[in-house]
Structure 1
Amino acid sequence: TTYVSDEAKALWAPWVLHCGLSPEASYSAEMLKVIGFAIELAGCPIVKGGAVNLTRAFERLIRDHGGDIRTGCDVAGITLGTNGKATGVRLSDGTEIGARRGVIASVTPDQLYRRLLGETKKPLPADVEKGLKSYRYGKGDMQIHYALKAPPTWKAGDELGKVALLHLTDGLDAVSRSSNEAERGLLPAEPTVCVGQPTALDPSRAPDGGAILWLQLPDTPRHIKGDAAGLLDCPQDGRWTEALREAFADRVEAMLSAHIEDFKDNVVARSVSSPADLETMNMNLVGGDPYGGFCGLDQFFIWRPFKSAVNHRTHVPGLYHIGASTHPGPGLGGGSGFLLASSLK
């Protein structure tokens, strides 16, 4: 299908950013169709009471089947037997946990091969070493969360307040521009802003009468070279600072204020996480990249993470690699884990 109107193009263009791509990227149009079909089929469902309840449901499922879950435990390395097979993991406090059948790691390639297997001191196969050197990460991501006194009143019409997720953009060209600026290391002059409105569907997420918004900026640079608008002072080392994070968030807030009545007066609190903050929370979000690596065609599908990767197996017997950095790529469906589990039955 070829869309003709600028409105239809503006509606669909931002969704390619949720695939870790830009409008000009190879196969972005095809991935956009996948997103469109999925939204038409299932909509944008949310978990009542918060996404944490989805995690709790999986936790109960695992425990009901005799499994155990440990949180706040940093895995320092993967242990190998005398035959070279993965036999378990060692925590940073020295505790060792044995594995009867194998070890499954949902991490980036660098975390798996450089850190978790690094202490074995065994040289990596040539194809793995080559894959690590060429593996690339994509743009960063910024998150902004708002607690509001009341649901937002959109100037364009009340119907927008009933939508689970919408995008603020001037259209296809604007999405292309902001994405390109971020890829060149610039803070977009007018970023594409994803606005989630969970309380529109689930009022229980906020006190009576209140509301929350979560914002995502998928075209944010990992390493900052400058400000496309020429207004913000950027550090010479390219690193995110708290001052720059809040100043850039102010730019986004001004965009919201242009579309929502009395927005600033309605704000109770704001919490901002820069790409650097996201990496601090989770070392697998390299530079704030939420997709586990650049989603370009050369390292996607059967070539993810490496062209030599086959069925989530590694060169270490009993060690399996899943997650966003592996086939079939990032997403909320748990595809890699499902594929591996199906093959291990």
Structure 2
Amino acid sequence: MAVASIRCRIPKVLWDSPIRRSWSSETLRPQYDAVIIGGGHNGLIAAAYLQMSGVNTAVLEKRHVIGGAAVTEELIPGFKFSRASYVLSLLRPQICKELELKKHGLKIYLRNSSSFTPMLEDGVGGKPPRSLLLGNNMEETQKQIAQFSVKDAQAYAEYEAFINRMATAVDPLLDAVPVDIPSLTSSSLRERIRSLRTVKPLLQTGFKLGKYIPQFYELLTAPISKILNHWFESEPLKATLATDGVIGAMISPQAAGSGYVLLHHVMGELEGIKGAWGYVEGGMGALCQTIASAAADHGASIFTEKPVNSILVDGNGTAQGVVLQDGTEIRSKVVLSNATAHVTFLKLTPECSLSKEFIKEVSSIDYTSPVTKINVAVDRLPNFLAVPSNDGISSSRLIAGTIHLNCEDMAFIKEAYEEACQGIPSTRPLLELCIPSILDPTIAPPGCHVISIFTQYTPYHLQGGKEWDDLERNRYADRVFDCIEQYAPGFKASVIGRDILTPPDLEKVFGLTGGNIFHGAMSLDQLYLTRPLPSYSNYRSPVKGLYLCGSGAHPGGGVMGSAGRNAAHVVIADLKRS
């Protein structure tokens, strides 16, 4: 991890996170009903629901600031970065409602255009290069697509309806525990009857899909390239849409299962608009601030700079609390871990408490990551060659959504992926740029902006045994900046400073095993009944009283909150039965 200050024209101010706050004025007590390891969004959500049900809960965050990967940090004076996750859509609407997050200060800026893909080409007849703008207005979007294919423009509305139908059908599965196979097949009659309720969400999804079940199955299992080739012919449109099928995943558009990754990224909803994405005022850390505020209002205790060293397990194989790195013991009836399964079971849980077979299974979870995140402070907006100046659309509106670079053709994405498979950071990486300061004036000084650059593909292990040192980090970041410069000349001259997070950095700073932003690959063998492992997809673990509540559990990654909410409900039910 490196913060490279290229130059700074901003007056020096106090460096401080906007959410570095002592949520609990009380002293950490030696006993709670529940202890949650990690103050990421899922851990905070679990704390809020537990506390609302009367379960006295403490959240222990190792860093100086809450939020996990959904955090705001002021790394360069005056610039507040959503350092890891950077856009919001997947957060479940019922969580916002039940925790009254707007009452606690949540404010979201909806993006008027969702996607902007400029072309690297010479303009014709004095016109600028073409670009593809996708947004909420279907007529405008179809007009944009028609530049590349009239046929695609006509098909786009039907495609959107198809994707929305698939995403809506999955809703019941997101908000419930997966089918409890062990209880259905081997428990007492009473347990079997009780576990039948876990089948209901699956049936609801089936009923919603109806005659479209075969198409749903194809979307889950097929390469996204196959799906998009069925619908469209123009490469800029296909490549732009394909990014949702590979983002954060070490796969290419031609890989089986990339269709599900796309589906996962269109499941969201903001302000009642399906599939909409937006920026949180104050950055993603402000979202976690509102969740923490809701939890604290109900009585939850939230502590920072409290790294957990190990989980206490008694001789009967039951979790009894945690031990902090300073040796302090905190006892509890249950322990919830917001960390990855790898960290939870292989680093925090005593090895003698787990079977060799379970340890072997946990060790086999795929955490491969292709992601390097670069946060940039600039003194002006990038000036894209492909932004027309006479079509009535302001340049700031055009680039308020996600800017896709090196996305003119799916073949470019495949080539970038294949290089990374050989340990080589992509020569022409897939880039997604977001400039939230266009809509949110609170995160940058006047006239300046923050840019989140989500890049792939970058391997965790470099070819030839090289390490991701400062030289390699900056060499790759320079390559990314060179790419942006091609589309927006003058970009490099606008840069004030940058923060570079390669896969090993994401692991070190945020505890993301392998640098994987989803707490484990979102591949078909690591979803639903097998997330994180077969027989342990219901948030419980082999250690009684120890639960997973993070993105490594169902339904997976993204700032969704379902894992935290679902896990809390499982814990509450178990405590009532005990």
State the TM-score, normalized to the length of structure 2.
0.54
What's 2:405 paired with? 168
Question: What is the CA-CA distance between 1:191 and the residue it aligns to?
Answer: 0.5
1:159/1:204 CA distance change after superposition, 3 Å = closer
Question: Paired residue for 1:133, among 359, 363, 380?
Answer: 363
Question: Paired residue for 2:257, among 9, 24, 27?
Answer: 27
Question: What is the CA-CA distance between 1:162 and the residue it aligns to?
Answer: 3.4
Distance 1:338 1:19 in 2: 23
Question: Paired residue for 2:335, among 98, 103, 121?
Answer: 103
Please show how residues 171-186 of structure 1 align to structure 2 within 5 Å. Answer: 171-186=409-424
Distance 1:280 1:343 in 2: 30
What's 1:300 paired with? 527
Question: What is the CA-CA distance between 1:52 and the residue it aligns to?
Answer: 1.8
Residues 127, 308 of structure 1: 8 Å contact kept: no
Q: Does 1:238 align with 2:466?
A: yes
Distance 1:299 1:311 in 2: 13
Q: Does 1:5 align with 2:234?
A: yes
- Which amino acid is 1:108 matched to? T
1:196/1:320 CA distance change after superposition, 3 Å = same
Please show how residues 201-212 of structure 1 align to structure 2 within 5 Å. Answer: 201-212=439-450
Equivalent pairs counted in the alignment come to 331
Question: What is the CA-CA distance between 1:219 and the residue it aligns to?
Answer: 1.8
1:200/1:322 CA distance change after superposition, 3 Å = same
Deviations 1:193-227 (A, max 9, x none): 110111122122111111111111132101011xx
Question: Paired residue for 2:300, among 46, 61, 67?
Answer: 67
Show structure 1 runs of 5+ residues with no match.
Answer: 226-235
Deviations 1:167-207 (A, max 9, x none): 11232111122123223322111010110111122122111
Distance 1:156 1:242 in 2: 33
Q: RCO (CA 8 Å, sep 6+): is it higher in 1 or 2?
A: 2
Question: Paired residue for 1:264, among 488, 492, 515?
Answer: 492
Q: Does 1:114 align with 2:346?
A: yes
Question: Paired residue for 1:276, among 495, 501, 504?
Answer: 504
Please show how residues 189-208 of structure 1 align to structure 2 within 5 Å. Answer: 189-208=427-446
Distance 2:445 2:336 in 1: 40
1:37/1:310 CA distance change after superposition, 3 Å = closer
What's 1:340 paired with? 567
1:5/1:257 CA distance change after superposition, 3 Å = same
Question: What is the CA-CA distance between 1:139 and the residue it aligns to?
Answer: 2.0
Distance 2:508 2:539 in 1: 27
Rg comparison, structure with higher value? 2
1:149/1:161 CA distance change after superposition, 3 Å = farther
Which one is further off, 264-273 or 238-247? 264-273
Distance 2:319 2:265 in 1: 37
Distance 1:207 1:250 in 2: 25
Distance 1:267 1:161 in 2: 21
Residues 79, 89 of structure 1: 8 Å contact kept: yes
Q: Does 1:55 align with 2:288?
A: yes
Residues 246, 261 of structure 2: 8 Å contact kept: no
Residues 192, 219 of structure 1: 8 Å contact kept: yes
Distance 2:264 2:556 in 1: 13
Residues 44, 165 of structure 1: 8 Å contact kept: no
Please show how residues 85-100 of structure 1 align to structure 2 within 5 Å. Answer: 85-100=318-333
Question: What is the CA-CA distance between 1:27 and the residue it aligns to?
Answer: 2.3
Residues 248, 369 of structure 2: 8 Å contact kept: no
- Which amino acid is 1:153 matched to? N
Distance 2:491 2:444 in 1: 17
- Which amino acid is 1:115 matched to? K
Question: What is the CA-CA distance between 1:127 and the residue it aligns to?
Answer: 4.0
Identity of counterpart residues, as a percentage?
A: 29
Distance 1:38 1:5 in 2: 26
Distance 1:167 1:182 in 2: 19
Residues 248, 371 of structure 2: 8 Å contact kept: no
Question: What is the CA-CA distance between 1:163 and the residue it aligns to?
Answer: 2.4
Which one is further off, 137-146 or 87-96? 137-146
What's 2:540 paired with? 313
What's 2:178 paired with? none
Query: What is the RMSD computed on CA atoms of the aligned residues?
Result: 2.0
Distance 2:353 2:442 in 1: 53
- Which amino acid is 2:339 matched to? V
1:77/1:301 CA distance change after superposition, 3 Å = same
Deviations 1:256-291 (A, max 9, x none): 111113112222222222222222212x32232222
Distance 1:133 1:53 in 2: 34
Distance 1:183 1:319 in 2: 36
What's 1:324 paired with? 551
State the TM-score, normalized to the length of structure 1.
0.89
Residues 304, 327 of structure 1: 8 Å contact kept: yes
What's 1:150 paired with? 380
- Which amino acid is 2:247 matched to? H
Task: Tell me the SS of whatever aligns to 1:9.
Answer: helix
Residues 148, 269 of structure 1: 8 Å contact kept: yes
1:64/1:123 CA distance change after superposition, 3 Å = closer
Residues 139, 183 of structure 1: 8 Å contact kept: no
Residues 149, 266 of structure 1: 8 Å contact kept: yes
What's 2:481 paired with? 253
Question: What is the CA-CA distance between 1:159 and the residue it aligns to?
Answer: 5.8
What's 1:231 paired with? none
Distance 2:558 2:357 in 1: 26
Distance 2:566 2:421 in 1: 32
